[in-house]
Amino acid sequence: MTVGLVRSKDLKAGVRRSAAAWPIGTLRYLVAAIFTGFCLFPFYVIVTTALKTETAIFAWPPVWNFKPTLQSFYNALFVFGGRSAIFYLINSVIISAVSTFVAVVLGAMAAYGFARFSFAGKRHLAFWILSTRFAPPVAFIVPIYLMVQKAGMLDSHIALILIYTAMNLSLVIWILRGFFSEIPIEIEEAALVDGYSRLQIFWRVALPLVRPGIVSTAILSAIFSWNEFLYAMVLTQSKAATLPVYLAGFSNSMGLAWGEYMAVGTMAVLPILIFTFALQKHLVRGLTFGAVK
Amino acid sequence: MEASRTDYFSLGEPKPDSMKLAVERRRATWLLIAPAFVVLLGLNLFPIVYALYISCHYWMLARPQPPRFAGLSNYQELFFDARFRNSVLVSLKFIVLAVGIEMLLGFGLAFVFNTRLRGMATLRKLTLLPSLVMPLVVGLVWFYMFNENFGIVNWFWVVLGGTRVPFLTQGALALLSIVATDVWQWTPFVMLVFFAALQALPEYVYEAARIDGLSGSQIFFRVTLPLLRPAILIVLIIRAVDALRSLELVFMMTKGGPAGDTEVLPWYLYTTGFMSPDLGYAAAMAVLMLALVTILSQLFVRQLESREVTR
Amino acid sequence: MARIEFKGVSKTYPDGTRAIVDLDLVVEDGELLCLLGPSGCGKSSTIRVLAGLETFSDGMILADNNRIDHLPPQARDCAMIFENYALYPHLTAFENIAMPLRARRLPASEIKARVTKIAGILRMEHLMGRRPSRLSGGEKQRVGIGRALVREPAMFLMDEPLGHLEAYLRVELRAEIRKLQERLGITTIYVTHDQEEAAAIADRIVVMSAGRLQQVGSFLDLFDRPVNRFVAEFVGEPPMVFLPVERTNADSIAVKGVRIPISEPLRAALRATQDRELILGIRPNDFSLGPPVRDHLNGTVTLVQPQGDHAIVAVSTPAGPATAIVPSDRRPAPGATVGLTFAGERLHLFDSAARALNKGEGGG
């Protein structure tokens, strides 16, 4: 009996404590939920519009209950326009994947150099590389267009791959530099006395230890390449055109092919939704160049 | 002395006998850094120089006659170009409004999310999505939602008792709509940065402040805010530069209209270079823009540099 | 397997800090030599320079009369054991031990045989499949030792290998290291700041301070015949007591007017110097405490720390603070006045430059 009494007393105290917290706690939930809903709502619109029939797309008031159809996806992939969206999708995948791979390989090497070696002008070089992150594509597009044209590489995969590599290098170098310098130096010294050369240590010891960093920078680089619009728009026309180029064609559709474009939009967004949850942990660190961890 | 060991490969002044070691070290360094360096040299530094060169020429795309040296006349022309002035002004309005709202909202929301309440972490992770989505898709979906005839924003507006609004075709509203879209995409990012910064604040500082008898608002203004200063500066600069250079939303939603009300600098530059197409003139604009971005990025770099020193 | 020689080695950091100053040192083949000193004294720098992990500014390093200081670390054939273990976190214990052999591209079968043998010697066969995160501190360092042993290197370099371990493990593992080293006869340099560890493990001990070698010798050499005040104070626990001395005569001294009896060799050394600012050094266990006596050095007990069979007694005397070790059953009470007497043949005298007065061959 006494035990029961004590318990109920505790319970009451607990209730009172949470009661004191309730207006603030509930307010937090409310604000957070509304904000999250605001963030997610356009995704709902993209996907549902892609699944609506043409009449439902143009309906007023908006239709909330509708029978989903895959017609728009089918049209975008197999019927619509001069070329199937699959073609652009494949170009996007190839260009993002290869440019990410090259950026991560070159970037990881340079990051290791910055983290573990000292040489004249190192700080200046590192901060110059950092500042390239801010390069506005629209300011570079004129000279780069002429360079690519003179090299005879307009509408080629290789041109976009090189440009995206350069675009992502600062990110890769700065994030991985942070990861490399967090490895206890003694581990690499141990490898040095164990008989490995400096490049072997980079490859066999340091690189495996920064795998989480590699994965998250690779995902971020891939997303940035995947999303890039201006260079792709100006430098490619057909052979190497990527998804954004396809989407840019919307303005030529007289604003009628909403369903088809939303279907392609869904395909452009879906991989990112998946990747985002994979890299969660280092996202802010990546987006702010390690300035905020 | 067990001094700093980070640069362990080259501590002390190497004496002549260890020159071989120094050579090996230097070779490894350059092997590692040179490839990335070359790529950035070719695709960052060289284009800047090339842009300077182009900007001093009459350089028409797709015309038979070769480029002709023009001295500074492209820059002169810019100075008297009302459309250029307008685009700078529009860009400025856009940046101040969008980034300002994002900073305020993001800052406040970071405090809302900075709690151990159950489920908040999941909500926070979901808010991350907009900042990673293809900007062109963002423009597409908001273009749809802002539509005057069947857009869902208009529907909400009507449900709340208003009448239909032509969001994207009416002067100032068009720019505000683009601002709203940018706010949707980037507020979560700002919020997440502040959230991470709040999480990184050491608990003991607050314990000390409470023991010292500071009130809640004193703690905020004398402890929290100063400690968040670096994060505020960093996110402000990143957002300002990104807002200055983006043109996807304008491309998708308004094409600079109505009547130049949303013609931001990047859009004017792009149309000059590839629709007019006057490359020399566009390059002059690009050079001015690069100068502006360089100033902003140097602020960022300084900020990071000072952090590196204190770390 | 190797006789190591430092010849005039100096290391100066770019900021002017002198980590090693003109070091001359020979490490005999098969010897276990301890580098002992407070943190920042240059002992770690010395072995890191030897391993090739750091460069140095002047001098040369020889192994069996061949210069090795121009070689990269991987060519110097030294194995190293680190204070924080420095195991490869992504590899199992087995793979950690195998790494030096893989660097030498030995055939897989030989690697397996050698690692297994080492695991047997260290009695840790059952741990071979684990990653470092699943090993205790003691187990980690055994893997570290295994990784050093497996190569059969020309020399072992150990940088405070037991610093992160608990006290009982330190005692256990240091005995094991000593046994292994004796069995294999590999030249070993062992860095520590713990004199008890150094005394337990070393053939010879090098005391360093501020980058300079102070004294080389067995622990008893350092304890009984310190060459200067630094060594005298650093070696021995609790530290030696120092009292300022007046010279009353060519060969006699006094502390606060109380004449101190000294041995003949010390008297001879005293006669040989004109220095007037001498310091007397007494080990705490060379004091005995008794009832206060007129014209003796008397003092007040300020603190008594019982240690079991003995007690450490802090005494405040007119000449300065002193520490004495007395049997537990004869410890005074705090606040008591006591008389200090000291064994004349075990005293040390230091001149104004902190050098010990040479007591000659027969001293100590």
According to the 3-state scheme, what is the secondary structure of chain B? Answer: CCCCCCCHHHCCCCCHHHHHHHHHHHHHHHHHHHHHHHHHHHHHHHHHHHHHHHHCEECECCCCCCCEECCCHHHHHHHHCHHHHHHHHHHHHHHHHHHHHHHHHHHHHHHHHCCCCCCHHHHHHHHCHHHHCCHHHHHHHHHHHCCCCCCHHHHHHHHCCCCCCCCCCCHHHHHHHHHHHHHHHHHHHHHHHHHHHHHHCCHHHHHHHHHCCCCHHHHHHHHHHHHHHHHHHHHHHHHHHHHHHCCHHHHHHCCCCCCCCCCCHHHHHHHHHHCCCEHHHHHHHHHHHHHHHHHHHHHHHHHHHHHHHHC
- Give yes or no for residue B2 having a pLDDT over 60: no
Taking CB atoms and an 8 Å limit, are C17 and B1 in contact across chains?
yes
Distance between first and last Cα of chain B: 20
DSSP C235: S
Confidence category of residue B265, pLDDT binned at 50, 70, 90: very high
A140, A227, A292 ranked by CB distance to B234: nearest: A292
Domain containing residue C123: CATH number: 3.40.50.300
Identify the residue with better confidence: A129 or C343.
A129
Taking CB atoms and an 8 Å limit, are C90 and A184 in contact across chains?
no
Taking CB atoms and an 8 Å limit, are B10 and C72 in contact across chains?
no
Confidence category of residue B117, pLDDT binned at 50, 70, 90: confident
Which of A56-65, B107-116, B248-257, B265-274 bottoms out in mean pLDDT, i.e. has the lowest?
A56-65
Which of A6-20, A266-280, C213-227, C266-280 bottoms out in mean pLDDT, i.e. has the lowest?
A6-20
Within this chain, do residues C52 and C146 fall inside the same structural domain, yes or no? yes
- Sheet of strand C58-63, all strands in order from the earlier edge strand to the far edge: C18-27, C4-12, C58-63, C66-67
Distance of CA A16 to the CA centre of its chain: 45
List, in order, residues 6 or more apart from B307 with CB less than 8 Å away: A291, B230
Structural domain spans, chain B: 82-310
Task: Identify the pLDDT of residue B68.
Answer: 84
Task: Identify the pLDDT of residue A13.
Answer: 37
Is residue C364 in a domain? Answer: no
Which of C68, C90, C114, C145 is the best substitution to test chain A (most A C-beta atoms within 10 A)? C90
Q: Which of A44, A69, A94 is the last residue of a domain?
A: A69
Give the amino acid at B23: V
Minimal C-alpha gap between B278 and chain A (Å): 10
Taking CB atoms and an 8 Å limit, are A284 and B193 in contact across chains?
yes
C97 vs C176: CA distance, rounded Å: 18
> What average pLDDT does this structure show over B73-88?
91
Q: Are B195 and B113 in contact, with CB atoms under 8 Å apart?
A: yes
Identify the residue with better confidence: C98 or C342.
C98
Task: Identify the pLDDT of residue A290.
Answer: 65
Confidence category of residue B102, pLDDT binned at 50, 70, 90: very high
Q: How many Cβ atoms from other residues are within 10 Å of residue C104's Cβ?
A: 12
Peptide bond into B258 cis (omega under 30): yes
A13 vs C62: CA distance, rounded Å: 76
Within this chain, do residues A216 and A232 fall inside the same structural domain, yes or no? yes
Within this chain, do residues A240 and A113 fall inside the same structural domain, yes or no? yes
Task: Identify the pLDDT of residue B263.
Answer: 93
Token pair for C276? 């007037």
C52, C86, C90 ranked by CB distance to A190: nearest: C86
Residue C145: CA count within 13 A, CB half-sphere: 26
ipTM: 0.87
**In chain A, which residues have pLDDT < 50?**
1-20
Is residue A232 in a domain? Answer: yes
B145, B149, B297 ranked by CB distance to A134: nearest: B297
Instruction: Nearest chain A residue to C74 by CA: give it.
Output: A195
Task: Identify the pLDDT of residue A122.
Answer: 87
Q: Which of C230, C253, C268 is the last residue of a domain?
A: C230
Place of tokens 């000193």: C37
A contact chains, 3+ CB pairs < 8 A: B, C
Q: Are C292 and C300 in contact, with CB atoms under 8 Å apart?
A: no
Place of tokens 């700065």: A174
Within this chain, do residues A145 and A211 fall inside the same structural domain, yes or no? yes
Within this chain, do residues C136 and C220 fall inside the same structural domain, yes or no? yes
Chain B, 73-102: which have a CB under 8 Å from a chain A CB? Answer: none
Q: Are C63 and C154 in contact, with CB atoms under 8 Å apart?
A: yes
Phi, psi of C205 (to 5 degrees): -120, 135
Task: Identify the pLDDT of residue B234.
Answer: 87
Task: Identify the pLDDT of residue C53.
Answer: 86
Q: Are B29 and A113 in contact, with CB atoms under 8 Å apart?
A: yes
Within this chain, do residues C75 and C203 fall inside the same structural domain, yes or no? yes
Is C104 in CB contact (< 8 Å) with chain A? yes
Distance between first and last Cα of chain A: 53
Confidence category of residue C346, pLDDT binned at 50, 70, 90: confident
- pLDDT, tens digit, 9 for 90 and up, residues A79-124: 766 678 888 999 999 999 999 999 999 999 999 999 988 888 888 8
Task: Identify the pLDDT of residue A110.
Answer: 95
Which of B46, B138, B140 is the best substitution to test chain A (most A C-beta atoms within 10 A)? B140
Q: Which of A19, A45, A69 is the last residue of a domain?
A: A69
- pLDDT, tens digit, 9 for 90 and up, residues B273-297: 888 888 899 999 999 999 999 888 8
Within this chain, do residues C136 and C8 fall inside the same structural domain, yes or no? yes
Within this chain, do residues C264 and C210 fall inside the same structural domain, yes or no? no
Q: What is the domain range of residue C294?
A: 240-350
> What average pLDDT does this structure show over C238-250?
88
Task: Identify the pLDDT of residue B221.
Answer: 86
B164 vs B147: CA distance, rounded Å: 10
Minimal C-alpha gap between A252 and chain B (Å): 11
> What average pLDDT does this structure show over B173-180?
94
Task: Identify the pLDDT of residue A291.
Answer: 61
Is C58 in CB contact (< 8 Å) with chain B? yes
Q: Are strands C252-255 and C258-260 parallel, antiparallel or unpaired?
A: antiparallel
Token pair for A264? 């392609």
- Sheet of strand C241-249, all strands in order from the earlier edge strand to the far edge: C258-260, C252-255, C241-249, C278-282, C348-350
Within this chain, do residues A56 and A145 fall inside the same structural domain, yes or no? no
Identify the residue with better confidence: A57 or C218.
C218
Minimal C-alpha gap between B1 and chain C (Å): 4
Confidence category of residue B20, pLDDT binned at 50, 70, 90: low
- Give yes or no for residue C179 having a pLDDT over 80: yes
Give the amino acid at C239: P
Minimal C-alpha gap between C19 and chain B (Å): 5
Within this chain, do residues A251 and A146 fall inside the same structural domain, yes or no? yes
High-pLDDT (> 90) share of chain B, %? 43
Quick one: which of A139, A129, A122 has its CA closest to A172? A129
Within this chain, do residues A171 and A263 fall inside the same structural domain, yes or no? yes
Within this chain, do residues C89 and C217 fall inside the same structural domain, yes or no? yes
Task: Identify the pLDDT of residue A21.
Answer: 59
Q: Which of A69, A93, A121 is the last residue of a domain?
A: A69
Q: Which of C230, C252, C273 is the last residue of a domain?
A: C230
A143 vs B61: CA distance, rounded Å: 12
Instruction: Nearest chain B residue to A18 by CA: give it.
Output: B117
Which DSSP string do the residues of C161-200 spell out, in sequence order? TTTTS-HHHHHHHHHHHHHHHHHHT-EEEEEES-HHHHHH
Q: Which of C172, C207, C230 is the last residue of a domain?
A: C230
Domain containing residue C296: CATH number: 2.40.50.140
Within this chain, do residues C72 and C22 fall inside the same structural domain, yes or no? yes
Counted domains in chain C: 2
- Rounded to two decimals, the pTM is 0.81
Question: Rounded to 5 degrees, what angle do the CA atoms B296, B302, B308 make?
Answer: 145
Within this chain, do residues C34 and C101 fall inside the same structural domain, yes or no? yes
Phi, psi of B218 (to 5 degrees): -65, -40
Q: Are A45 and B145 in contact, with CB atoms under 8 Å apart?
A: yes
Identify the residue with better confidence: B10 or B159.
B159
Average pLDDT over chain B, rounded to an integer: 85
Phi, psi of C242 (to 5 degrees): -115, 130
Q: Are C281 and C232 in contact, with CB atoms under 8 Å apart?
A: yes
Within this chain, do residues A222 and A243 fall inside the same structural domain, yes or no? yes
Q: Are B35 and A106 in contact, with CB atoms under 8 Å apart?
A: yes
Within this chain, do residues C200 and C283 fall inside the same structural domain, yes or no? no
Taking CB atoms and an 8 Å limit, are A193 and C90 in contact across chains?
no
Confidence category of residue C304, pLDDT binned at 50, 70, 90: very high
Is C265 in CB contact (< 8 Å) with chain A? no
DSSP C288: E
Q: What is the domain range of residue A37?
A: 2-69
Within this chain, do residues A83 and A46 fall inside the same structural domain, yes or no? no
Is residue C210 in a domain? Answer: yes
Which CATH code fits B82-310? 1.10.3720.10
Is residue A293 in a domain? Answer: no
Give the amino acid at A85: A
Average pLDDT over chain C, rounded to an integer: 89
Counted domains in chain A: 2
Task: Identify the pLDDT of residue A273.
Answer: 82
Q: Any idea how long chain A is?
A: 293
Which of A244-248, B186-190, C31-35, C286-290 bottoms out in mean pLDDT, i.e. has the lowest?
C286-290
Contacts of residues C298-303 at CB distance under 8 Å and 24 or more positions apart, as own/partner, are C298/C337, C298/C338, C298/C339, C298/C340, C299/C337, C299/C338, C299/C340, C300/C335, C300/C336, C300/C337, C300/C338, C301/C332, C301/C333, C301/C334, C301/C335, C301/C336, C301/C337, C301/C338, C302/C334, C303/C334
Taking CB atoms and an 8 Å limit, are B17 and C67 in contact across chains?
yes
> What average pLDDT does this structure show over B210-237?
85
Minimal C-alpha gap between B309 and chain A (Å): 12
Task: Identify the pLDDT of residue B116.
Answer: 81
Taking CB atoms and an 8 Å limit, are B136 and A136 in contact across chains?
no
